[in-house]
């Protein structure tokens, strides 16, 4: 029986910030500056791998500057107007919640049923801070139920399943009593290895969001 529901953040509740900013939005940085999409995708993935598990104590502003500095250093060629300062200034307009009215409706229904809600996200502190400020979902997710890879020192795909063990402890229930919503199949497969049931949130369109929200609500209604 489901006793708690846990959500990924980027790609589920809010746009993946660097991917949306650099590659996926209509006004993305890569196309605007005619950069190589292959290079940008490779560098972004490499930086996430570097930063998502780094237990840094540096201030958020320093982390953000370091991320973009590393990005530009790794980029083979780019125009001189594409600077760290420019990228930092541009970031906020790309931090966009996904279908917030529909998702809030589901979160409210879960709260009404007394279902504890949590976050499990491969994330970097400075990206999370920007996402969380924009979402305004503090009412639904207490701080102690927010599990981030940078704090744990491991991602959801770690063979030790450290993040999912942290989720289980924070939600105070067994793995088989958790429902997990994520947009990446490999993360859902990792959760399933622990016995956690998953629902995939795929292309972030309104129709797809409505479908996975309905699936969550139905699972709770039927007591699965």
pLDDT of residue 114: 93
Return the pLDDT at 219: 83
Tell me the per-residue pLDDT of 108-136, one tens digit each, with 9 for 90 and over.
Answer: 999 999 999 999 999 999 999 999 999 99
The angle formed by the CA atoms of residues 43, 49 and 52, to the nearest 5 degrees, is 125
Residues 6 or more apart in contact with residue 68 via CB below 8 angstroms: 84, 87, 88
Q: What is the pLDDT of residues 65-102, one digit of tens each?
A: 999 999 999 998 899 999 999 999 999 999 999 999 99
pLDDT band at 28 (very low <50, low <70, confident <90, very high): very high
Fold of 4-15+96-221: Rossmann fold (3.40.50)
Residue ranges matching CATH 3.40.50.1000 in the chain: 4-15+96-221
pLDDT in tens, 131-178: 999 999 999 999 999 999 999 999 999 999 999 999 999 999 999 999
Tokens of 3: 């006793």
Ramachandran region, residue 182 (left: φ > 0; alpha: ψ -120 to 50; beta: rest): beta
Average confidence score pLDDT of the chain? 93
- Do you know the residue count of the chain? 224
């Amino acid at each position: 029986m489901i006793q708690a529901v846990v959500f990924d953040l980027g790609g589920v509740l809010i746009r993946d910030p660097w991917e949306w900013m650099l590659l996926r939005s209509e006004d993305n940085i890569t196309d605007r500056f005619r950069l190589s999409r292959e290079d940008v995708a490779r560098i972004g993935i490499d930086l996430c791998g570097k930063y998502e598990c780094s237990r840094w104590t540096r201030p958020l502003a320093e982390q953000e500057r370091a991320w973009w500095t590393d990005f530009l250093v790794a980029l083979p060629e780019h125009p001189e107007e594409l600077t760290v300062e420019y990228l930092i200034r541009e970031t906020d307009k790309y931090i966009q919640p996904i279908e917030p009215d529909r998702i809030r409706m589901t979160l409210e229904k879960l709260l009404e049923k007394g279902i504890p809600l949590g976050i499990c996200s491969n994330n970097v502190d400075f990206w999370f801070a920007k996402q969380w400020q924009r979402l305004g979902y503090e009412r639904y997710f207490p701080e102690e139920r927010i599990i981030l890879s940078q704090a744990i020192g491991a991602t959801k795909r770690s063979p030790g399943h450290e993040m999912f063990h942290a989720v289980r402890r924070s939600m105070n229930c067994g793995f088989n009593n958790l429902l997990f919503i994520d947009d990446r199949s490999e993360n859902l497969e990792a959760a399933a290895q622990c016995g956690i049931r998953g629902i995939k949130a795929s292309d972030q369109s309104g129709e797809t969001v409505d479908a996975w929200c309905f699936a969550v609500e139905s699972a709770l209604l039927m007591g699965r």
